[in-house]
Structure 1
Amino acid sequence: MNQKMSKFAHITKVHPCYNEKLHDKIGRIHLPVAPKCNIACRFCKRSLGDESLCEERPGVAHHILKPADVEDYLNDLLKKMDNIKVIGIAGPGDSLFNKETFETLEILQEKFPEMIRCLSTNGLLLPKYAKRLADLGVKTVTTTVNAVDPKIQAQICDWIYYEGKVLKGEEGAKVLIENQIEGVKKAYEYDLAVKINTVLIPEINGEHIVEVAKTFKDYAFVQNIIPLIPMYKMENLRRPTCDEISGVRDNSEEFMTQFRACQQCRADAAGLLHQKNHIEQEKGKNLDIYDLKHFSH
């Protein structure tokens, strides 16, 4: 653990999602440039447009930002928020499943090289793109891993889309898990600091999450266990209690450092983590956004 702490000390000094002491000091911006997703999680319902404005959770954004608009948007934002040091891509779909993510990272590398660049992914395509991310100057990767047992994962994710095929149930779950493990290992080899996000679903993976920590302990820097937000196909399941969350974190901490201050941010969040700012359409400005058909799975 000490070796990993030393290896990524430069990240923990500046990234509020890797150091909870920075929440009121350093801001971040999520660029919602990645609308499409390649897996179907049963708890995930993405929202776009005005219907998203009252929601504070991953998978929602007021609009999809085109890479061509990124530079102007950031220049304007940085004039208003001088505390932003981190620029991330967190969907609202899967970052690595959208070519716009890489177009945006190229812009960030050229125009905003001083900023820490990060992204979030489900990890299905991480083995393929880990090196490319490193070459584009990405420093941190958050990978959502909810199970390392295909039987459990199949209860959380209905299907995956991989190499031109839709793989359902345990078949898809097995491929997803294998790629997540391989991808995180590759990311570590390329000096990317990896945070494992794990959604705690008491009835499904509550007793299993410690196995996720065991599996990734040698390659991931930190684990972030977050509570299920009951919705979509899991709307009838319950949200874990505070005691349950603390207990699972305590058990997993034996194997991996635990991050305990996640805000479950929107895909277009901006500013300090405790603030609820996000990208909104400017009055009188016709933003060039994607057709809603591109927002589905």
Structure 2
Amino acid sequence: MPDAVWQKIQDHPCYSEDAHHYFARMHIAVAPACNIQCNYCHRKFDCANESRPGVVSEKLEPEEALRKVLAVAAEVPQLSVVGIAGPGDALANAEKTFATFALIHEALPHLKLCLSTNGLMLSDHVDRIAAIGIDHVTITINMVDPEIGARIYPWIFYRHQRWEGIEAARILHQRQMAGLEALTARGILVKVNSVLIPGVNDEHLTAVNQAVRARGAFLHNVMPLISDPSHGTYYGLNGQRGPTPAELRKVQDQLGADAKLMRHCRQCRADAVGLLGEDRGAEFTRDKLGEAKPFDPAQREMYLAVVERERADRQNAKEAAQVAHKIEEAPVLVAVATKGGGRINLHFGHANEFQIYEVGPDGARFVGHRRTDKYCVGGHSEPDAMATSIAALEGVAAVFCAKIGERPRQRLKEAGVEAVDAYAFDYIEASAITWFAGRSQSGTVAATA
């Protein structure tokens, strides 16, 4: 990777899988309006219990957003990126969006600025995006065929007119491609998000990938459709299912043979704060900001030094494990309970997601994550949550955690999943490689393949 590109992504948790172990993002909800309707979207305000795009608890004005960013930066040294991702569309609220970015850039110039958009109005604002120093833009592109697009987007509002059906999808497609080309021509990194909708665009995403790569997209993120009926979306209310983990991975693997894919996306709320996989937004609501302490650059510099050492140590441990263990067995999937830092550092019962790694002859590599419910709540185990965890671990050979009780260990064993807590607080990849080598030598792999 060119050094100039690495400098842009090394501490961006969305653009670098490595960075997401160490750095935090913050979404600020200053963009409530939207100019298209997606069948998978239903924006909700004042909602604290749903973790998905389009959901916020507070809508902010630019000055309020700056106050919140300053408070978070003072408390969260991991913060490296501030993004505007809604709850509507950032460029359907262009004046608020750019005013907010200008305030943040002036106050905290070290933070990366990141913008997410559906792309409809992107071409009109590329010059402003470049001028203000936004060097990461995400575009949601779900189709390049308007006939498929008409099944995803009931309407768009463009040039003071409402468009519907295939014509709406055609306009959106043309505008998305033009905006993507204009951004990449200026050297701005573009991540394309695509929602995988079984039976609608699942087979079509190969064409989407080819189109966006041809126009210079840096990263392609294929996300599963969220279609719980309780969310009130058109798809959810009309029985459109989301993909299974196996279906999602199949599409990702098909595209990943010759493309950069993002597999660690958490489909964050529009007001999310913290590391990917966690949300500290409730700690920074208006009523809790008070007299926030000032941002201390020295604290951040200390954290960056720690990250640099951790990254080097983690890579060295991974390489040493690969050298020490030459394995010829077929790869398996393992799950990891972690709270960041690239380490196995979370109690099984406290995990609300598992990071999934493939471990085999070529080492260990991150391939995705799966959500679950916490098994332990307030010191008590929740039997239903254990069933959810077992379902989330389908196809996984082992789950690595810092600690696990005997009851869930036995439940996992009955489900064919090995609970591993012998590598507590060690690095993930090195531990997975070492475990797999021992499993291979003992003949367990061959017996369960």
Where 1:123 maps in the other structure, the secondary structure is: coil
Contact 2:68 2:289 in 1 (8 A): no
Equivalent in 238, 242, 246 of residue 239 of structure 1: 242
Where 1:61 maps in the other structure, the secondary structure is: coil
Instruction: Select between 34-43 and 246-255 the one with higher mean Cα deviation.
Output: 246-255
Which residue pairs with 2:141 in the alignment?
145
Measured in 1, the distance between the counterparts of 2:223 and 2:118 equals: 15
Q: How does 1:74-93 map to 2 (within 5 A)?
A: 74-93=69-88
Which residue pairs with 1:172 in the alignment?
168
Contact 1:48 1:62 in 2 (8 A): yes
Measured in 1, the distance between the counterparts of 2:287 and 2:3 equals: 47
The alignment's TM-score, normalised by the length of structure 2, stands at 0.61
Which residue pairs with 2:323 in the alignment?
none
Which residue pairs with 2:53 in the alignment?
58
Measured in 1, the distance between the counterparts of 2:162 and 2:212 equals: 26
Where 1:20 maps in the other structure, the secondary structure is: coil
Amino acid at match of 2:212: F
Which residue pairs with 2:68 in the alignment?
73
Equivalent in 134, 148, 151 of residue 130 of structure 2: 134
CA change 1:281–1:27 in 2 (3 A) is closer
Measured in 1, the distance between the counterparts of 2:248 and 2:23 equals: 26
Contact 2:71 2:289 in 1 (8 A): no
Per the TM alignment, residue 253 of structure 1 is displaced from its structure 2 partner at its CA by 2.0
Measured in 2, the distance between the counterparts of 1:40 and 1:136 equals: 28
Q: How does 1:254-293 map to 2 (within 5 A)?
A: 254-279=257-282, 281-283=285-287
Matched, 1:35 2:38: no
Amino acid at match of 2:133: G
Which residue pairs with 2:12 in the alignment?
15
CA change 1:42–1:36 in 2 (3 A) is same
Amino acid at match of 1:97: A
Amino acid at match of 1:210: T
Which residue pairs with 1:291 in the alignment?
none
Contact 1:153 1:170 in 2 (8 A): yes
Identity percentage of aligned residues: 37
Contact 1:217 1:255 in 2 (8 A): no
Q: How does 1:66-215 map to 2 (within 5 A)?
A: 66-98=61-93, 99-215=95-211
Measured in 2, the distance between the counterparts of 1:267 and 1:61 equals: 6
Which residue pairs with 1:221 in the alignment?
218
CA change 1:247–1:73 in 2 (3 A) is same
Instruction: Kindly provide the CA deviation profile for residues 211-254 of structure 1, in whole angstroms up to 9, marking residues without a partner as x.
Output: 01000113100100000001511011111011111111112224
Give the total of aligned pairs: 281
Instruction: Kindly provide the CA deviation profile for residues 156-210 of structure 1, in whole angstroms up to 9, marking residues without a partner as x.
Output: 0001011101010100100000010010010101111000000000110010001
Amino acid at match of 1:251: Q
Contact 1:38 1:162 in 2 (8 A): yes
Measured in 2, the distance between the counterparts of 1:38 and 1:186 equals: 21
Measured in 1, the distance between the counterparts of 2:34 and 2:157 equals: 9
Where 1:19 maps in the other structure, the secondary structure is: coil
Measured in 1, the distance between the counterparts of 2:29 and 2:18 equals: 26
The alignment's TM-score, normalised by the length of structure 1, stands at 0.91
CA change 1:167–1:255 in 2 (3 A) is farther
Measured in 2, the distance between the counterparts of 1:124 and 1:166 equals: 13
Instruction: Kindly provide the CA deviation profile for residues 128-174 of structure 1, in whole angstroms up to 9, marking residues without a partner as x.
Output: 11121010110100000000000001100001011101010100100
Measured in 1, the distance between the counterparts of 2:50 and 2:143 equals: 26
Where 2:66 maps in the other structure, the secondary structure is: helix
Instruction: Kindly provide the CA deviation profile for residues 265-287 of structure 1, in whole angstroms up to 9, marking residues without a partner as x.
Output: 0000011112122255444899x
Q: Which runs of 5+ in 2 are unaligned?
A: 291-449
Per the TM alignment, residue 6 of structure 1 is displaced from its structure 2 partner at its CA by 5.5
Cα-Cα RMSD: 1.7
Per the TM alignment, residue 12 of structure 1 is displaced from its structure 2 partner at its CA by 2.0
Contact 1:57 1:265 in 2 (8 A): yes
Measured in 2, the distance between the counterparts of 1:238 and 1:20 equals: 28
Which residue pairs with 2:253 in the alignment?
250
Contact 2:113 2:134 in 1 (8 A): yes
Instruction: Select between 9-18 and 140-149 the one with higher mean Cα deviation.
Output: 9-18
Superposed structure 1 runs of 4+ greater than 3 Å apart: 279-286
Contact 2:197 2:242 in 1 (8 A): yes
Measured in 2, the distance between the counterparts of 1:174 and 1:284 equals: 45
Contact 1:24 1:274 in 2 (8 A): no
Where 1:142 maps in the other structure, the secondary structure is: strand
Instruction: Select between 262-271 and 276-285 the one with higher mean Cα deviation.
Output: 276-285
Instruction: Kindly provide the CA deviation profile for residues 107-146 of structure 1, in whole angstroms up to 9, marking residues without a partner as x.
Output: 1222221111001000011111112101011010000000
Where 1:198 maps in the other structure, the secondary structure is: strand
CA change 1:162–1:198 in 2 (3 A) is same
